[in-house]
Amino acid sequence: MTSSMLNLPTSIPWLTILGVVPLVGSVVVLLLPRARETMAKQVALAFSLVTLVLTVVLALGFDAASSAPFQFAEKYEWIASLGISYSVGVDGIGLVLIALATILVPIVMLSGWNDVAPGTTGRGTVKGYFALMLALETCMVGVFAATDVFLFYVFFEVMLIPTFFLIGRFGGAQRAYASVKFLIYSLVGGLLMLAALIGLYVVSADVLGQGTFDFMQLVGIDIDPGTEKLLFLGFFIAFAIKAPLWPFHTWLPDAAREATPATAVLLIGVLDKVGTFGMIRYLLPIFPSASQWFAPLVIAMAVIGIIYGALVALGQSDMKRLFAYSSMSHFGFIALGIFVFTSQGMSGSVFYMIAHGLATAALFIVGGYLMSRRGGSSLISDYGGVAKVAPILGGFFMFAALSALALPALAPFVGEFLVLLGTFERYIVIAVIATIGIVLSAAYALRLYQKTMTGPVAPGIDGMKDLGGREFTSLFPVFALTLVLGVIPGIALNVINPAVDRTLTTVGLTDPQPVLTGTEGGQP
């Protein structure tokens, strides 16, 4: 294995800097005079780009072969009496998710450049929109980098605030309803998690003598089975709402429909991954027995979600709700891969998180461009024949649809196939049911494409402008990354795989052996 490509000095608190840069950007943007709207946007974009560059530096400095569980680790005491510290660090899983977040922020900024009408005063100002996105970026970096469970919780909850305002102030007509629904669901989850967190602290005080929230210390502590199950549930429900898994998903279609495309991408593409990330990072290593005990339940929820989400997506007359249900179906795949406890499944899940983030970006951004050209209507029946009128838009729409149905050579395929394979190794019947999802995803994705992009040109579509320079620039990186990750997924798998192996070792499970063992490798 190669070590890192860049040797970064360890004395510099890289992750803190990475988290602080967007926050500083957010403050700077807020301090700008309200009238300088374009400048606010440019400054925000610049800060997000600096963050992206920093992420690239970090990724190059990351050593995939290292045996240390976390790299770029920092630890400062925070509330010593409660064993709470500000400690951050990344493994391969955290790294790729941070990369996803920092890649998507500049992209959605570009795509949402004109989301807020110039000169808007009151609550939904231009600079407010961009400052909130940067603030959210800080939270996203923090939540994936935290190695203290309490710190994670703080980011988990604080994240809600910018998201709440992004939906509630900048969304569609029903935005108030959608944002409050989102908040309530999240709060309920957060509450349960807080309770479980306190419980975990009590347990750690009992077992270790001194209570702690430090992740590394909490891994492998001995918890009474009954308590472990309760604590597991507290965390799990919070994550299942966030992900969201069936049947906790009903906030998602509303939020997706009302939010701006930019917000929707960050919400569904990145924030929802916190749920599945939490399952891998916290549930499995801290509550290994409970995770196994609950695995059948989670798998059932996941596989129901796959089929259910796809079927409901097939029946949607609203494009944005279709996107949301399609995502829900894919979240089912991600959760499934985690709880089948095979390295293929889990690596597939992590990879799928990235791939799905990109696929979501493609769908919502190109969908957003389409809808903005037709008075914001998200009704599928308002469209038809668009590809004829606007071929570049049509081409990107096609690409987004193919991402959603996980065509090979695009990133989602790698994730989906690995998840199915990992599932098949342990649960053949579940894998068979989940595989039916690939027919349904083709059906809803191509149905959407057929109804909107092909056929006779619908009224109101004639004369529709094709994508402009800014729009093209925002979509092209998504397209390129999806393709690159689909063809050379190794760049991500190289860092994901070791982290996944470590997680599975902590849980104490190994992959099932092939039926014909001892002869693999083809050497007789």
Pick the binder of other proteins from 93, 110, 167, 183 (CB under 8 A). 183
Complex with other proteins: residue 77 or 462, whichever CB lies closer: 462
386 vs 153: CA distance, rounded Å: 45
Complex with other proteins: residue 140 or 154, whichever CB lies closer: 154
Complex with other proteins: residue 25 or 92, whichever CB lies closer: 92
Pick the binder of other proteins from 57, 457, 460, 506 (CB under 8 A). 457
For residue 188, state whether it binds other proteins (rule: CB under 8 A).
Answer: yes
Q: Closest distance between other proteins and the C-beta of residue 441, in Å?
A: 8
Q: Closest distance between other proteins and the C-beta of residue 141, in Å?
A: 23
DSSP state, 458?
P
3-state secondary structure 149-218: HHHHHHHHHHCHHHHHHHHHHHCCCCHHHHHHHHHHHHHHHHHHHHHHHHHHHHHHHHHHCCCCCEHHHH
For residue 516, state whether it binds other proteins (rule: CB under 8 A).
Answer: yes
Pick the binder of other proteins from 54, 105, 262, 431 (CB under 8 A). 431
For residue 443, state whether it binds other proteins (rule: CB under 8 A).
Answer: yes
Contact criterion met (CB below 8 Å) for 452 and 383:
yes
448 vs 367: CA distance, rounded Å: 11
b vs e for 46-63, b when ≥16 Cβ sit within 10 Å of the residue's Cβ? ebbebbbebbeebbebbb
For residue 446, state whether it binds other proteins (rule: CB under 8 A).
Answer: yes
Complex with other proteins: residue 229 or 281, whichever CB lies closer: 229
Complex with other proteins: residue 375 or 521, whichever CB lies closer: 521
3-state secondary structure 227-276: HHHHHHHHHHHHHHHHCCCCCCCCHHHHHHHHCCHHHHHHHHHHHHHHHH
406 vs 417: CA distance, rounded Å: 9
Query: Which residues touch 487 (CB under 8 Å, ≥6 apart)?
Result: 409
Pick the binder of other proteins from 98, 402, 461, 464 (CB under 8 A). 402
Q: Closest distance between other proteins and the C-beta of residue 509, in Å?
A: 13
316 vs 218: CA distance, rounded Å: 44
Among the listed residues 281, 290, 276, 175, the one whose alpha carbon sits nearest the alpha carbon of residue 231: 290
Q: Return the range that interacts with other proteins (CB under 8 A); candidates 25-33, 62-70, 218-226, 291-299.
A: 218-226
Number of residues that bind other proteins (CB under 8 A): 99
Q: Closest distance between other proteins and the C-beta of residue 469, in Å?
A: 14
Pick the binder of other proteins from 120, 250, 289, 372 (CB under 8 A). 250
Contact criterion met (CB below 8 Å) for 455 and 385:
yes
Contact criterion met (CB below 8 Å) for 115 and 87:
no
For residue 203, state whether it binds other proteins (rule: CB under 8 A).
Answer: yes
Complex with other proteins: residue 262 or 405, whichever CB lies closer: 405
Complex with other proteins: residue 120 or 435, whichever CB lies closer: 435
Pick the binder of other proteins from 224, 462, 465, 470 (CB under 8 A). 224
Pick the binder of other proteins from 174, 381, 450, 473 (CB under 8 A). 450
Q: Return the range that interacts with other proteins (CB under 8 A); candidates 56-64, 212-220, 243-251, 263-271.
A: 243-251
Q: Closest distance between other proteins and the C-beta of residue 442, in Å?
A: 4
Complex with other proteins: residue 88 or 499, whichever CB lies closer: 499
For residue 379, state whether it binds other proteins (rule: CB under 8 A).
Answer: no
Residue list 294-353, contact with other proteins (CB under 8 A): 308, 311-312, 314-316, 343-344, 347-348
Q: Which two tokens stand for residue 139?
A: 């939270």
Q: Is the dihedral of CA 396, 402, 408, 410 positive or negative?
A: positive
x/- string (CB under 8 A) for other proteins, residues 478-497? ---------xxxx--x---x
Tokens 């992750």: give the residue: 15
Q: Which two tokens stand for residue 201?
A: 């602290």
For residue 442, state whether it binds other proteins (rule: CB under 8 A).
Answer: yes
Q: Which amino acid is present at 295?
A: A
For residue 522, state whether it binds other proteins (rule: CB under 8 A).
Answer: yes
Q: Return the range that interacts with other proteins (CB under 8 A); candidates 77-85, 108-116, 242-250, 354-362.
A: 242-250
503 vs 493: CA distance, rounded Å: 15
Q: Closest distance between other proteins and the C-beta of residue 111, in Å?
A: 21
Query: Which residues touch 2 (CB under 8 Å, ≥6 apart)?
Result: 64, 65
Our measurement of the distance from residue 110's CA atom to the centroid of its chain's CA atoms, rounded to an integer in Å, reads: 19
For residue 79, state whether it binds other proteins (rule: CB under 8 A).
Answer: no
Residue list 348-377, contact with other proteins (CB under 8 A): 348
Complex with other proteins: residue 295 or 311, whichever CB lies closer: 311
Q: Quick one: which H or E segment has residue 88?
A: strand 84-90
For residue 194, state whether it binds other proteins (rule: CB under 8 A).
Answer: yes
For residue 417, state whether it binds other proteins (rule: CB under 8 A).
Answer: yes
Residue list 152-171, contact with other proteins (CB under 8 A): 157, 164, 168
Pick the binder of other proteins from 199, 208, 293, 484 (CB under 8 A). 199
Q: Closest distance between other proteins and the C-beta of residue 269, in Å?
A: 22
Complex with other proteins: residue 295 or 407, whichever CB lies closer: 407
Question: Which backbone phi and psi does 379 adopt, to 5 degrees?
Answer: -75, 125
Pick the binder of other proteins from 13, 172, 455, 460 (CB under 8 A). 455
CA distance to 172, 255, 364, 490, per residue, from 321 (Å): 13, 9, 11, 33
Residue 23 burial (CB count, 10 A): 18
